[in-house]
Structure 1
């Protein structure tokens, strides 16, 4: 084998740590960004929180309307393509670590121009944000998340009731164990035998004793409020609630007129649940031995029961949505204008620690201290880039939101029926950004509007053809379907085919299958289940 030297010219794309961080911050939600900021504050001593207003960066909104050069657009396109590939193939660590360079020669260096001096952009950013607070009941410290945390869980509610029962230590422990084994809906998914075997293993005698204690504890659990808790299936859950109504009717004279329907409902719940789901009245009349009118009354009674007893105890904190941008209306009617601004409550207020940065500037180490000085200088540059990337994230969100509001102005004036078809490519072309960048910006970012709070992706939708040759937004078509169904007769609900014909009368070409797809997406039952009994 002969050895020799040769020259080769090649090109490869390497994402710098700054660009990697910018892309990653752009796709984070508000909560994830908050966690990222907290982690960076813990790790980087040059970064601190501040409440003062910072100057704008030169690449911020002041440059928002500057035309994008073709070279920059091509570079962004290549970077986004590479970022998508790296994101799909990298292994996600627990701390969501940064993407490694694509080339082994490209080390992660945050060094800028090699200077440790304070730059004009070293001051804080996001300082106009005020601490999040709501003046609820005169308490300025109270907010929605704190109120959500104080909500009583299903397990706590049941444990409090169990305290009033006089039980032996074994039965009390068994009841506590069953309560903790319930799912969020209040059902006991595991069998008593499997729960006992999970505790006792292969000891058959101990398993038998545990099953006995669990059986006693289950009857006690099912007697607690809310009615239906501890059921092992839908039929048992409905039966428990109906039995509670029977017990109530024995002491409350006002409930006695409905007792006949309750008894028939108990017989219905003893039958296969698919008959009830199909509302097969004729078959249920035969099986239950009751009149047609009584069976219909019983089905209506079952429809008013709670199929998920633990639903009202579910933690509501996860349903809280904090908008990233706010849309403010000025003027009314044809003179209405909509202004978009960032929600300052979600903007982190960060700045470079002046004391530490000045100390590093004045103490330029040499000799043995050179390595430590270089490491600290790199951390300082990392803090600067983190502040810049966060600012750029919010600037991009604001630019995209402004473009969306401009394109969907009819929605903000008239509601979802006036939504226009819109795809990511249109916003990307208008702003001179890559389509994947728009996708990242619109994911898990929310906009507060006069009609409610929506994810930015809500304003994008495909179009359906119309008789006039234009397009109607799929969101508007869904709203129209919902409007048709809300105005239908309960005795003769509209079928999917009828809705399709009604849309054609409005000039919208929408097939029956598409109507069914949109209806299911709206969680609206088919016509057979919407018909009044």
Structure 2
């Protein structure tokens, strides 16, 4: 039996404290999420308060010189205040309190705004006016509630039957009847399980009997030819002329493949840029967007009162004070880092801002990390969900990074520039003779850019440009 032995070993490891880990998570947040978090913290921390209007300082600005020139030091606002709620949200919340009249007794324009109805409410209101037994109404309601926002039913009926909790359990034929009841509701095509079924449910709306019969054959038997826009193949299969087949397909294109979207009430998400850049007197200026900076400050009255009575044993208040100080430091550090990284990116990509995507230079995370003096992972987190507003549009900071593609003369070109060149080549092609990806690859090669065909295909798809076959049919 071996003897027990005690041994001392020195080992050096790197570990992140819980507070540092939390700071890293905050740095990766979008400005909207970060502002909401700070606003929530200010609501439950007595040492944090919103700054009064007009107390905030000027937004941080960095003046950029030529490439490689140092930037002037940026100053962050001395006072930070949380964002105010959107007035439109208040209107939507207040609008449901009932009809109110103006002072003269007339309805206001806001009261006349129609109430948006979601798809499931629309289906439920139709089912409630049908004279159905309680069991049938329950099954139809379960099917209607399971319809997705685009109007499709993607959950199998056998999985919906147990949700009713009925005794005896619903049979398959009962669920089919419930589905048919839902599919008979408005909008036409709702409750379909495939695109073909969705179109078939809308065919009764076609008045011409011949057109309706041909449309049914196309959807049921030759939908792949319809998707490929193969008029000659459809005409051959249907025994009609190409003009007649085109007329039927034109009528089919008027149908709605996503009938539920007309009831979609999801609000559009707007991007608020974190950094603004403008050109003033030949120099690019980079500044933080004041709209995304949460403006909060330390409540000095509470802080001084606590310092006077620190020996009273209020441990929880001490934690709040420490959290408030750390939050303010974190806000300053976060936006200072974002501004420094954005300024470094603009300094290296100023040709892109002046001449467009063709002038984008290859750029890696390490280059920005070395210039700013931070780690590459920090640059990655800073550029995640952060946006830069330029005179030509709003771009995510990650958009400015791309690997280098070496041309035949030894110069480096970015992937963004290659995508811009591919777009220019396709825009200049003849509509009746569109270029294939292989032909685009050969044109790039003649310009000294050696790019694989699969890379051209990937870039074309990223640009959301259709394949050569689709472009030829559209042409």
Instruction: Using structure 1 for the length normalisation, give the TM-score.
Output: 0.71
Name the CA shift for 1:262/1:527 in 2 (closer, same or farther; >3 Å). farther
The residue correspondences of 1:75-90 to structure 2 (distance < 5 A) are: none
| Cα distance in 1 between the residues matched to 2:402 and 2:395 | 14
Matched, 1:24 2:18: no
Q: Residue 351 of structure 1 corresponds to which residue in structure 2? A: 297
The residue correspondences of 1:144-223 to structure 2 (distance < 5 A) are: 152-159=117-124, 166-168=130-132, 170=134, 174-200=139-165, 203-204=168-169, 206-207=170-171, 210-211=174-175, 214-221=178-185
CA shift, 1:282, in A, is 5.1
Residue 48 of structure 1 aligns to a residue whose secondary structure is: strand
Name the CA shift for 1:297/1:230 in 2 (closer, same or farther; >3 Å). same
| Cα distance in 2 between the residues matched to 1:507 and 1:54 | 53
> Would the aligned equivalents of 1:18 and 1:385 in 2 still touch at CA under 8 Å?
no
Q: Residue 270 of structure 2 corresponds to which residue in structure 1? A: 320
> Would the aligned equivalents of 2:140 and 2:179 in 1 still touch at CA under 8 Å?
no
Unaligned stretches of 5+ in structure 1?
A: 68-120, 250-258
Q: Which of residues 314, 337, 347 is equivalent to 1:396?
A: 337
| Cα distance in 2 between the residues matched to 1:345 and 1:475 | 29
Q: Residue 204 of structure 2 corresponds to which residue in structure 1? A: 243
| Cα distance in 1 between the residues matched to 2:79 and 2:249 | 61
Encode CA deviations 1:399-455: one digit per residue, 9 max, x unaligned: 111111122212222332332221111111111211111000000111222222221
| Cα distance in 1 between the residues matched to 2:222 and 2:333 | 59
Superposition CA RMSD, Å: 3.8
Q: Residue 48 of structure 1 corresponds to which residue in structure 2? A: 49
> Would the aligned equivalents of 2:183 and 2:190 in 1 still touch at CA under 8 Å?
no
Q: Residue 510 of structure 1 corresponds to which residue in structure 2? A: 451
CA shift, 1:235, in A, is 0.4
Name the CA shift for 1:520/1:327 in 2 (closer, same or farther; >3 Å). same
Name the CA shift for 1:514/1:176 in 2 (closer, same or farther; >3 Å). same
Encode CA deviations 1:185-240: one digit per residue, 9 max, x unaligned: 21112344543343146724x4468436514522422xx13x42222211012223
Q: Residue 442 of structure 2 corresponds to which residue in structure 1? A: 501
| Cα distance in 2 between the residues matched to 1:474 and 1:507 | 14
Q: Residue 294 of structure 1 corresponds to which residue in structure 2? A: 244
Residue 394 of structure 2 aligns to a residue whose secondary structure is: strand
Residue 294 of structure 1 aligns to a residue whose secondary structure is: helix
Q: Residue 107 of structure 2 corresponds to which residue in structure 1? A: none
Encode CA deviations 1:438-489: one digit per residue, 9 max, x unaligned: 0000001112222222211111112322243212221222233233334434
Encode CA deviations 1:81-108: one digit per residue, 9 max, x unaligned: xxxxxxxxxxxxxxxxxxxxxxxxxxxx
* Farther-moved stretch of structure 1 (407-416 vs 189-198): 189-198
* Farther-moved stretch of structure 1 (180-189 vs 3-12): 3-12
Residue 203 of structure 1 aligns to a residue whose secondary structure is: coil
> Would the aligned equivalents of 1:61 and 1:395 in 2 still touch at CA under 8 Å?
no
> Would the aligned equivalents of 1:124 and 1:352 in 2 still touch at CA under 8 Å?
no
* Farther-moved stretch of structure 1 (442-451 vs 519-528): 519-528
Aligned residues: 441
| Cα distance in 1 between the residues matched to 2:89 and 2:42 | 26
CA shift, 1:324, in A, is 1.3
Q: Residue 324 of structure 2 corresponds to which residue in structure 1? A: 383
> Would the aligned equivalents of 1:197 and 1:207 in 2 still touch at CA under 8 Å?
no
Instruction: Using structure 2 for the length normalisation, give the TM-score.
Output: 0.79
Q: Residue 104 of structure 2 corresponds to which residue in structure 1? A: none
Unaligned stretches of 5+ in structure 2?
A: 64-69, 96-109
Name the CA shift for 1:393/1:356 in 2 (closer, same or farther; >3 Å). same
Residue 143 of structure 2 aligns to a residue whose secondary structure is: helix
> Would the aligned equivalents of 1:503 and 1:510 in 2 still touch at CA under 8 Å?
yes
Q: Residue 477 of structure 1 corresponds to which residue in structure 2? A: 418
> Would the aligned equivalents of 2:357 and 2:417 in 1 still touch at CA under 8 Å?
yes
> Would the aligned equivalents of 2:353 and 2:390 in 1 still touch at CA under 8 Å?
yes
Name the CA shift for 1:5/1:496 in 2 (closer, same or farther; >3 Å). closer
Q: Residue 115 of structure 1 corresponds to which residue in structure 2? A: none
Q: Residue 532 of structure 1 corresponds to which residue in structure 2? A: 473
> Would the aligned equivalents of 1:327 and 1:338 in 2 still touch at CA under 8 Å?
yes
> Would the aligned equivalents of 2:142 and 2:164 in 1 still touch at CA under 8 Å?
no
| Cα distance in 2 between the residues matched to 1:46 and 1:61 | 31
